Amino acid sequence: MQSYGGTPGARQARCTRQILWAEELGMCFGVRDALRVLGEIARPAEVTIHGELVHNPEVLRALDRRGFHRSPEATRGVPATPVVLVTAHGISDRERARLAAAGKTLVDTTCPLVRTVHAAARQLAAEGRRVIVVGRRGHVEVRGITEDLRDPIVLEAPGEARPWPEPRLGIVCQSTTPPALALEVVAAVRATNPGTDVRFVDTICSPTRARLAAVQALLPHIDMLVVVGGAASNNTRQLALAAAARSVRAVHVETAADLDPATLAGAERIGLTAGTSTLPATVDAVAARLAAFAAARAPTAART
């Protein structure tokens, strides 16, 4: 873990509050690559982003300012622009074919690790298995996976498992599923279908694993956790839930402006982490604001 105190004076134990960074946090390579592709587009006004590129309001506002169009994830209209950009969350092959049939040029920024989930689900279906997706029902990534499957099942929690008549089942995960939750759901499916051939393909992405593991390592050393990322981001939400599961207070903010000094009351060691769609500049701004709060509460003599 990394310790951050802001100004040089704050780093020299001149204030009682300590800020500890998780070893792994923030933007993953899939989001970074998608943003790089968007940065290379010369005529944004000719491009419609098919849903939210990432669940991060700061990023979306920046794209709006550049002139990109956006179509809501829940709709299935045909964009007016000649070019449609597929987001990092991916879409189904069925949806790709529909857009191509409408004459649209597709720019595909689907994360390679999301493609892995799609491929695993297709393979399980090809083996004659009914496919179960562990993930958030209605999430754009889950929707992209299930639209290409026949009679898929989506499970959000182990309590949703029940007996199914099929002799063979296959299980994949939304890429940002917490590993512990995935194992619980798989165990529940097997317990409720004891005579069934159940094959589990672990499709949780490595950035999700790394960020969750880093938070778990940080929790014994902190009084509270500040999680930076979009309110609708599944992987960011899971970081906050990991803290709550260990009875560590968590504060989820989208930007530094969301931080309230009163919220930090009573916390002397504050952990800092961020979701995979959070800009590095946003994390730095939150860290700087936390350091400023720490310096402001240091004894006057220590700051002279």
Looking at residue 73, what is its pLDDT? Answer: 66
Tell me the average pLDDT across 217-230.
95
Tell me the average pLDDT across 273-297.
90
pLDDT single digits (tens) 235-261: 899 999 999 999 999 999 999 999 998
Closest by alpha carbon to 144, among 170, 166, 175?
175
Q: Does residue 3 surpass a pLDDT of 90?
A: no
CB atoms within 10 A of CB 192: 14
Q: Contact 126/155 with Cβ under 8 angstroms?
A: no
β 130-134/168-173 pair status:
parallel
Closest by alpha carbon to 106, among 132, 130, 79?
79
Q: Does residue 188 surpass a pLDDT of 50?
A: yes
Local structure of 90: helix, strand or coil: coil
Q: Contact 1/23 with Cβ under 8 angstroms?
A: yes
**Residue 55 pLDDT level (bands cut at 50, 70, 90):** confident
Domains of the chain with CATH codes: 2-27+206-303 (3.40.1010.20), 29-110 (3.40.50.11270), 113-200 (3.40.1010.20)
CA distance 249 to 264: 10
Q: Contact 162/192 with Cβ under 8 angstroms?
A: yes
Closest by alpha carbon to 133, among 185, 205, 191?
185
Looking at residue 75, what is its pLDDT? Answer: 65
Looking at residue 186, what is its pLDDT? Answer: 98
Predicted structure pTM score? 0.84
Residues 6+ apart with CB under 8 A from 112: 30
User: What is the H or E stretch that residue 269 is in?
Assistant: strand 269-274
pLDDT single digits (tens) 98-120: 999 999 999 999 999 999 999 99
Catalytic residues: 141
Q: Does residue 92 surpass a pLDDT of 70?
A: yes
Q: Which two tokens stand for residue 272?
A: 């800092």
Tell me the average pLDDT across 118-146.
96
Closest by alpha carbon to 264, among 290, 303, 240?
290
